[in-house]
Amino acid sequence: MKRSAAHDRWGLAVGAAFLALYAATAARGLQFADSGELQSVALLGGIPHATGYPLWVALARAFSWLPLGEPEFRVTLFSAVCGAAALGLLVRRLGELGVAPFASVAAAGFLGLTFSFWRISVRAEVYTLGLLTALVALGALVAARAASPSAWAARRAALLLGLVLTVHLAFAPAVAVAGLGLAWREWRAAPRELARLPLLLAAFALGLSPYLLLVALDASGIRANYLDLVRENAAFMGHAVPPLETPWQGVRWLLTGRNLHPPPPFELHPRSVVAMLPDCGAVLFLFELGPLALPLLLAGLVRAWRKDRPPALVLAVAFLATVGFAAWLQFGAMLHLFLLPACLIGAILAAFGLEALLGVARLSGPRRAAVAVAACLALAAAPAGLRVFAERHPIGPREWRVIEEDAEFRSALLPAVARDAGAGAWADSALERFPEGALVLASWSYYTPLRHRQLVDGRRPDLTLRQILVGTLAPRVRGWQRDHVPAGAPIVLVAERARLSALLPAADSLALPGGRVAWVLRRPVPDSLLEEARPGR
């Protein structure tokens, strides 16, 4: 079904409005944790943490060349642009699926105001590009269905589905469901043309080709290379680890290692998955889409089913598969991010539910627009309020509350980026105070802005900067003390106090901005304390 011109106009308006909102609320400057690493990778060209995100790497690198403010802010602005473009494109895609303009705009606005979507649009993240690419692929799927039995349209859709997986593997369940549906339809259209399915698979594989960029980058010896960090850490693990000697082995680990080295085996425990499903439901229908979205989603599924069963079935199965995938991975603080594809599908189905609601009301144009705006704001306000309420009063017998990926984040009505904006000033001050020639051992959140200043800005090349990992702290300290005189080449520890508790009796404190503290080891650490710092003690 073709979208109307109204969908095009409203799509542009929605995209422009949210770009202004996201750009105004985006974090300025350098950021902590993953966002800081991604800023380094985009500005230098490199390989980030698993799964490597090659399409994001290529596009963010190109975007960082634009003369738009400070270099680090350009990378964050890329997230804002992708998020706003995804919302504008969502309006157009809903038009192609037969949803009326006001309902399409309300659903896109609601999704754009959800907490996690807003947050990933104002920080340096890969997820908004993933959602945008998924919507491009959805358009190709709709076009392939309208053009059937056009083999070329189907292959273009398959290629774009592969491309979605080069941004983030959280979309893998939805891509698998859509890909199988596409293959089934192609086989039904021409069961005797045996080459159609292999060519469809070849197009999908071609869409995965950006991963070859990571192979090339690893072989080139680039500086911002997470694989080098993993290889260096592996030397201190004290047990056998799978080799990452070649770029091909490195990329294979990025795709399958789940950011753990050595990677644990893939195991499916049905009881654990089922036990995790209520937590996934709580994230979706308490803190992300909110409780008001659930009846709209169910009503929308019924309406979509009555309009056109195959797309409705694909959306429903993709939603369930995404939730099941997140329940299987059980990533805790990352759960809301792996549920972002489900939020997108939920918003699409909610658009059908809003259309049914507006249709039943039989309102005039202006009143229909007012109801659509009110519904959008009400849908977005409910989960925001529940996030703040659950911070002090966890909900239900399982005590549901938002588990943040960073312990310093606190739940709020709107995504706050003040802490992110302070990363640059914190790193500058820390580098000014660290002793000359020191070994700096930092947890990931603090490691990335310090590393950015060293790699991108060329600050403090005299420092040896390393990440603290479980199992590497004690051997790193022991090895440094063996090769250096602590008084002239001390060790600086920058991490949460609990991770360093065994070594603190031998350390001097060093005050840093934001109420943070680092600890400096200027004297040899006794073996008794190093033994206590070993994992499992």
pLDDT value at position 536? 46
Q: Which amino acid is at 328?
A: W
Give the closest residue to 133 by CA, choosing from 102, 106, 169: 169
Judge if the upstream peptide bond of residue 262 is cis by omega within 30 degrees of 0: yes
Start-end of H helices in 406-464: 418-421, 423-433, 444-455
Residue the block writes with tokens 């896109």? 108
Q: Which two tokens stand for residue 344?
A: 């997108």
pLDDT value at position 537? 43
pLDDT tens-place values along the chain, 537 residues long = 556 788 999 999 999 999 999 999 998 899 999 999 999 999 999 999 999 999 999 999 999 999 988 999 999 999 999 999 999 999 999 999 999 999 999 999 999 999 999 999 999 999 999 999 999 999 999 999 887 667 899 999 999 999 999 999 999 999 999 999 999 998 888 777 777 899 999 999 999 999 999 999 999 989 999 999 988 888 776 555 667 889 999 999 999 988 877 788 888 888 999 999 999 999 999 999 999 999 999 999 999 999 999 999 999 999 999 999 999 987 778 899 999 999 999 999 999 999 888 776 566 667 777 888 888 888 889 998 998 898 889 999 989 988 776 665 666 667 766 555 688 999 999 999 999 999 999 999 999 999 999 999 999 999 999 998 877 888 888 889 889 887 889 999 998 887 788 888 888 999 988 788 899 999 888 877 777 766 544
**Reported pTM:** 0.94
List of residues 6+ apart from 162 with CB closer than 8 A: 175, 203, 204, 205, 206, 207, 208
φ/ψ region of 458 (left if φ > 0, alpha if ψ in -120 to 50, else beta) reads: left
Q: Do 450 and 431 meet the contact criterion of CB atoms below 8 Å apart?
A: yes
How many helices and strands in the chain, by DSSP H and E? 25, 5
Residue 491, φ and ψ in degrees, nearest 5? -115, 130
CA distance 316 to 342: 10
CA distance 232 to 405: 25
pLDDT value at position 4? 77
Give the closest residue to 93 by CA, choosing from 351, 303, 317: 351
Q: Residue 421, Cβ neighbours under 10 Å: how many?
A: 17
Q: Do 520 and 537 meet the contact criterion of CB atoms below 8 Å apart?
A: no
Give the closest residue to 226 by CA, choosing from 94, 390, 54: 54
pLDDT value at position 46? 94
CA distance 443 to 436: 20
CA distance 314 to 294: 18
Q: Which two tokens stand for residue 93?
A: 């895609």
